[in-house]
Chains A and B, each alone.
Chain A
Amino acid sequence: MTDEEHLRILEEKAAELRRLAQENGLDLSAELAILEQKIAELKRTVCEGLSAWGRVQLARRPDRPSGLSFAQALCDAFYELRGDRAISDDPALRGGVAKLAGKRIAILFHQRGMTPEEQRQARFGMASAQGYWKAKRIMEIAARLKLPLLTLINTPGAYPGVQAEAHNIAGAIACCIWQMLRHPGPTVAVILGEGGSGGAVALAAADRVLMLENATYSVISPEGAASILWKDAKFAPQAAENLKLTARDLWALGVVDEVIPEPPGGAHTDLQKTVAAVREAVIHHFSELSRLSLDELLRLRYNRYRHVGSAGAPN
């Protein structure tokens, strides 16, 4: 029996005990406490022992909290801005102005959609050209108003479609990277789920890049890498391993500044706890960055990206 199966059986038993206790008015709290402790331990081992491919699955869970639920739970207030002022409004990449711990910020996030209808419209978080043109617009507003910028990333990648090409999706992504690099204020990016390729990096050229424990960040999906390099998609688990796409691998590579722990079992098991951890980390990094002068901030940001991968470079 795998740990996952064992965990499922224990959870069923706990539910049964709770039902019995309620229906018959029995006090089974001692038994339940033991069982729950066992469940928590097992969840921890399941998560710690997860392969890269296992984390890819966890990061893609449809019940993983959405960008919008994070944005709403993180911020005291959120005023959404819609539309790219040229073509349309993309529901897969959203944002606006918000208050975080009483301070004004601008926020951008991918939205994969929680209902089937939402998911269809948002193409499971694959933002199109309009999404990235809107993101650029919101970044420019943030620059004008001198607001710190927070981005929450969770996308399989930018949308590869005929209309996306016609509206210059590549140019929109390039402009987002450029605008983030020039941003006259602190920028923090958090990868919540999938950090897929160009669609992710468009929002990730930040002063600080944080990742949830089970999030992934990659140049290509493991399936894509497997079909290009192995000519066979069934090598995806192997590709996931070799691409070094987990939060811990990327932290070790110096690409990510902090790995934010998730509750045992994953972010979807406890939104409140996950949000609290993300909130604390984001506030901490913003407050560190706010102590730097603008010149210092830009100098450090350029140096961070100028030297990625150079031999002997400070990572």
Chain B
Amino acid sequence: MPIRRDKRDRYVEVEVGVPPEPLWVRCEACGELVFRRKLQENQYICPRCGAYFFLSARERIASLADPDSFQEFSTPSICEDPLGFSDQLPYKERVHRARQETGLFEAVLAGSARIGGIPVILAAMDFRFIGGSMGVGVGEILRTAMELAAQERKPFVLVVSSGGARVQEGVLSLLQMVKVVAAREALAQAAVPYIAILTYPSTGGVLASIGSIADVTIAEEGALIGFAGPRVIEQTTGERLPPGFQTAKFAQEHGMVDAVVPRAKLREELLRALSVLVEGG
């Protein structure tokens, strides 16, 4: 669970490996060795410098849903490795490893839950699973979740943590952007509210589809919000990135999000929005 920001408030790329659950974790922002239990108690925020570590999908859901209210949906039937893709590693092998490392079927976990007693459909993406990327599997899980939300008239809440479309599924990944927007239209047709929570990172094809068209959009402090990653921008355009570029605050200043809240206040903020949006809530 590596840290994602350096001392100058810019993001650093870190290889995502197996979390071997060591007792101590080093904060790459301030260099402090933090006792893992202490980090957990502090909601994965460095107690010394306040830097955000990212949350796994299960940790995220536990932090938002009422205790024991989350009921995971069954996994969808999808076409695995539709292109028969291989790079330095066969794609099937990458998926297999990601499943072992995360205990998840795909880069998003979805189910029904209650938040402050309000029934919702809740989905959280997991950055550890191939960068939280969206391929057919993620597209299917999100579509099913949204269609069920529309049918049962429960608000849909999505926590984004994704680098974008999954390269190894080619154009089929690109078309998942269309798929999730089509399912979002089903929510609109049923007049069911949709709340997006943007965290580290919300970029690429996920931001350019389902991440940007919620009714209410909340950014977590420490989020990275942008279409193109900082490195791509620098390499393609040669532009120097201004300080604070693509942070939650930047998104708020440019009118892209309704609120920026610290991790500890996220559930409270979500509940406040939900209770206004839901009739009788």
Contacts and interface: CB of A to CB of B under 8 A. Distances in A.
A309 B167 contact: no
B110 to A, nearest CB: 16
Contacts of B227: 158, 160, 164-165, 169-170, 173, 198
B254 interface: yes
Interface in A67-105: none
A178 B181 contact: yes
A170 B206 CA distance: 9
Interface string A190-215: 00000001101110110000000000
B117 interface: no
A218 B167 CA distance: 9
A306 B176 CA distance: 9
Contact of A309 (B86, B176, B209, B236): B176
A312 interface: yes
A1 interface: no
Interface in B204-239: 204-205, 207-213, 226-228, 232-233, 236-237, 239
A39 interface: no
Interface string B173-213: 11111110111111000000000000000001101111111
A160 B167 contact: no
A204 B176 CA distance: 12
Interface string B74-101: 0011110011011110000000000000
Interface stretch (B19-27, B29-37, B59-67, B136-144): B136-144
Of B82, B171, B173, B236, most A-chain CB atoms within 10 Å: B171
B48 to A, nearest CB: 31
A118 to B, nearest CB: 19
Of B87, B136, B210, B226, most A-chain CB atoms within 10 Å: B87
B136 A174 contact: no
A67 to B, nearest CB: 20
A21 to B, nearest CB: 48
B171 A181 contact: no
Contacts of A250: 171
B148 interface: no
B143 A162 contact: no
B255 interface: yes
Contact of B175 (A160, A167, A255): A255
Interface in B228-269: 228, 232-233, 236-237, 239, 241-242, 245-246, 254-256
A253 to B, nearest CB: 7
Contacts of B204: 198
Contacts of B254: 165-168
A220 interface: yes
Interface of A is mostly: helix
A175 B239 CA distance: 26
Given A158-B227, A302-B182, A310 B167 contact: no
B170 interface: yes
How many B residues are at the interface, by size bracket? Answer: 35 or more
B108 to A, nearest CB: 15
Contacts of B87: 225, 229-230, 235, 239, 242
Contacts of B210: 174
A218 B170 contact: yes
How many A residues are at the interface, by size bracket? Answer: 35 or more
B176 A308 contact: yes
B209 A174 contact: yes
B77 A312 contact: yes
A142 interface: no
Interface string A275-315: 00000000000000000000000000010011011111000
Contact of A305 (B179, B226, B255): B179
B12 interface: no
B169 interface: yes
B271 interface: no
Contacts of A197: 165, 174, 205
Contacts of A204: 178
Contact of A219 (B77, B165, B211, B232): B165
A198 B164 CA distance: 10
A133 interface: no
A242 B85 contact: yes
Nearest to B202: A170
Contacts of A162: 233, 237, 239, 241-242, 245
Contact of A245 (B86, B171, B177, B205): B171
9 contacts: A165-B227, A170-B227, A201-B174, A219-B173, A243-B83, A306-B182, A306-B183, A309-B136, A309-B140
Given A173-B212, A175-B212, A305-B178, 18 more contacts: A158-B208, A160-B237, A161-B233, A161-B236, A161-B239, A165-B226, A165-B228, A174-B209, A177-B178, A178-B185, A219-B167, A229-B87, A230-B87, A243-B171, A305-B175, A308-B176, A309-B79, A309-B169
Q: Which 4 A-B pairs have the closest CB atoms?
A: A160-B228, A309-B136, A229-B87, A170-B227
